[in-house]
Amino acid sequence: MYRKIIKIFSRKQGCLKKKPANFIAWLIVLLPMTTVCQNTNFPEFDPGRAFSHLKKQCEFGARVPGTAAHRNCLEYLTSTLRSYGAQVTTQPFQITMRGETTPVTCYNIIANFHPNNSCRVLLCAHWDTRPWADQDPDPANHSKPVLGANDGASGVAVLLEIARLIHLSPPKFGVDIVFFDAEDLGSYGDNETWALGSKQFAKNLSRRYRPEFAILLDLVGDSDQQLYIEKNSYQYAKNIVDMVWNTAQRLGIHEFIPEVKHDVYDDHINLLEIGIQCINIIDFDYKYWHTIEDTPDKCSPQSLDNVGRVLVDILYR
């Protein structure tokens, strides 16, 4: 992806008596103290259930806006979130895809858990898939859609399992889970054509909404998982990066590699630009990115578990 200069707007954050930076620093200090004051009542992330969500999304086919697979997956995601007790709304918007003249309707999916809790956290992923496998080594495949087992289904799968746990055992935070549409329709070198759903979300978001932090999941299911620190996340939300990677280190999850590597234009950029501290957990070394080989057999339940366990620890510790 290409670099973009980000203008960050200052914004007061929320509900904790400490400022977010101080709160996160406080949490980071406590992370190594596992033998002293560990909460043993954490709900347990189920990687098999999460992987079933990944496969189910892929069974619909490529979730390209305007297709039957997209509509069917929309129904699956909204009904699943509602079954877990979320207040679910959709945010429709229209886009015209490259090479087309007729607009199609896209939908951000917004799920609110325990909306009366003013202390909130935002977790997000994109749920659409790319219409063109234009990074496939075979040019004959460039006009075919990407199934998106990793690039689309994996982050959603983790968050659906997190939603189930929130329903079973409410954390200290109110949690908002957002699945962005139309993230993957862009043209290389033109940042404004990517992450359209999060642009729409940010544009319409009330300035009264002040999550303590936000975490974006993208490409987190690779069976050969390597989660380096994304550059914009490190530059603009280092406290959250430290919280997440220190948690992974304490849990012995070595797939979280504490080195800054990729500079990725993704949905977190649009949140950063309106003053929401958001990081991107992403494995951008995935060799099947934007190819027809981005299929469930390239992903693993263990990789989903690595990310899910870190999120559970952060939400419930």
CA distance 123 to 225: 20
CA distance 6 to 2: 12
**Which residues does 15 contact at the CB level (< 8 Å), separation at least 6?**
118, 119, 120, 210, 212
Task: List Cα–Cα distances, 168 to 45, 76, 110, 293, in angstroms.
Answer: 12, 20, 19, 36
Tens-digit pLDDT profile for residues 39-85? 557 899 999 999 999 999 999 999 999 999 999 999 999 999 999 99
Please say if the pLDDT value at position 18 is more than 50. no
Alpha-carbon torsion, ordered 94, 204, 153, 96, to 10 deg: 20
Tokens of 114: 């325990």
Higher pLDDT, 162 or 8: 162
CA distance 229 to 184: 21
Q: What is the mean pLDDT of residues 249-277?
A: 97
Tokens of 306: 């690595």
Strand pairing report for 214-218 and 278-282: parallel
Tens-digit pLDDT profile for residues 204-237? 999 899 999 999 999 999 999 999 999 999 999 9
Strand pairing report for 256-260 and 104-113: unpaired
Average pLDDT score over the chain = 91
Tens-digit pLDDT profile for residues 171-208? 999 999 999 999 999 999 999 999 999 999 999 999 89
What local confidence, expressed as pLDDT, does residue 42 receive?
A: 87
Q: What angle do CA 133, 227, 108 make, to 5 degrees?
A: 55
* CA nearest neighbour of 305 among 227, 213, 214: 227
CA distance 96 to 276: 28
CA distance 270 to 194: 10
Query: Given 3-state DSSP classes, what are the helix, strand and coil percentages for the chain, each rounded to the nearest 5?
Result: 40, 15, 45
List domains and CATH numbers for the chain.
Answer: 20-30+47-316 (3.40.630.10)
**Which residues does 14 contact at the CB level (< 8 Å), separation at least 6?**
20, 118, 119, 120, 210, 211, 212
CA distance 222 to 187: 24
What local confidence, expressed as pLDDT, does residue 15 receive?
A: 58
Contact 278, 14 (CB under 8 A): no
Q: What percent of the chain has pLDDT over 90?
A: 85
What local confidence, expressed as pLDDT, does residue 41 receive?
A: 79
Sequence-ordered alpha helix ranges (H) in 67-134? 68-83
* Helix pair angle (68-83, 47-59), 10° resolution: 150
- Please tell me the number of Cα atoms within 13 Å of 266 on its side-chain side: 26
CA distance 184 to 47: 26
Separation of first and last alpha carbons in the chain? 35
Tell me the residue type at 127. W
Higher pLDDT, 149 or 18: 149
- pTM for this entry: 0.89
